[in-house]
Amino acid sequence: MGVLVAPSILSADFGNLDRDVEMVNCSAASFIHLDIMELFRSGLFVPNISYGFPVIKAIAKRAKRPLDAHLMIVDPDRYLERFADLGVANLSVHYEACTHLHRSLQKIKSLGMKAGVALNPHTPLSSLEEILPCSDFVLIMAVNPGFGGQSFIEESYLKVERLKKMIITSNPECMIEIDGGVSLINAARLVECGADILVAGNSVFTSERPEQTIEKLANV
């Protein structure tokens, strides 16, 4: 089997959400990726809003692939139990948004989910040195978080390569997830650099044949 693919629902057609979730169910995708942003609190983490728990609940009811949720919010600990109750399998929180990151990861694991750390493009990998042994996966942002359809940041290749070396030394079971600007153009190189999970939104849901695009990504 090739790399794991997680189509991002943020790029789906929300007027035909059932159709798009079913497409992913029938595809070679390994996960359904949820990008969670909020707009109703002060201290915003990203300048955008995605969708709330009613939509997530609707997706969860129809999903036949494990849910991979990426929280781009401040104080994510407020919601960990709710994501566990919805059956989320993988939950990532941002290094930049967590005051007590180790405690957040331990709580995620105690709720039966895989715990991931997400890093913004500007955040150095050295930030992970103390927390990598506690992480099930690391999500590398290859765009600045907040909006779909952005251009891939080329420096992300080197970041994935360097992270892979760190993982081999400190936590070989940890996986690397890459999110932002992923497409058939750069997928093979990302896998060569060490990526295990490819989050693809715009490149999948704007494709004329999205199931075929997912299959190609899974077999790069």
For residue 24, is pLDDT > 50? yes
The lowest-confidence range among 40-49, 54-63, 78-87, 192-201 is 40-49
For residue 164, is pLDDT > 50? yes
Average pLDDT over residues 86-105: 95
Number of domains in the chain: 1
Average pLDDT over residues 12-26: 95
Cα separation values, 189 from 22, 76, 152, 155, 156, Å? 29, 32, 13, 12, 11
Query: What is the three-class DSSP state of 96?
Result: helix
The reported pLDDT for the residue numbered 151 is 82
Among the listed residues 20, 35, 68, 136, the single catalytic one is 35
The reported pLDDT for the residue numbered 52 is 77
The reported pLDDT for the residue numbered 95 is 95
For residue 206, is pLDDT > 80? yes
Number of H helices, E strands in the chain: 8, 8
Residue 93 contacts residue 100 (beta carbons within 8 Å):
no
CA atoms of 9 and 148, how far apart (whole Å):
10
Owning domain of residue 164 = 4-218
Whether residue 179 lies in the annotated active site = yes
Average pLDDT over residues 59-68: 96
The reported pLDDT for the residue numbered 73 is 87
For residue 98, is pLDDT > 80? yes
For residue 44, is pLDDT > 70? no
Among the listed residues 20, 136, 179, 196, the single catalytic one is 179
User: Which residue's entry shows tokens 């930049």?
Assistant: 96
Query: What is the three-class DSSP state of 51?
Result: coil
Tokens of 67: 């849910």
Cα separation values, 76 from 7, 28, 148, Å? 22, 30, 21
Non-local CB neighbours of 189 within 8 Å, separated by 6+ positions: 157
Q: What CATH number should be reported for the domain holding residue 15?
A: 3.20.20.70
The reported pLDDT for the residue numbered 25 is 98
Cα separation values, 30 from 54, 85, 136, 155, Å? 23, 20, 16, 26
* Residue 165 burial (C-beta neighbours within 10 Å; 0-12, 13-18, 19+): exposed
The lowest-confidence range among 20-24, 41-45, 138-142, 201-205 is 41-45
Comparing CA positions, the residue from 129, 114, 219 lying closest to residue 173 is 114
Q: Render pLDDT for 115-160 as a digit per residue (tens, 0 to 9).
A: 999 999 999 999 999 999 999 999 999 998 755 566 899 999 999 9
CA atoms of 134 and 114, how far apart (whole Å):
10
Average pLDDT over residues 72-84: 91
The reported pLDDT for the residue numbered 40 is 44
Q: What is the torsional sign of CA 141, 93, 56, 145?
A: negative
The reported pLDDT for the residue numbered 42 is 44
Phi-psi region of 18 (alpha: psi -120 to 50; beta: other; left: phi over 0): alpha
Residue 95 contacts residue 119 (beta carbons within 8 Å):
yes
- Mean pLDDT, the chain, integer: 91
Average pLDDT over residues 56-82: 93
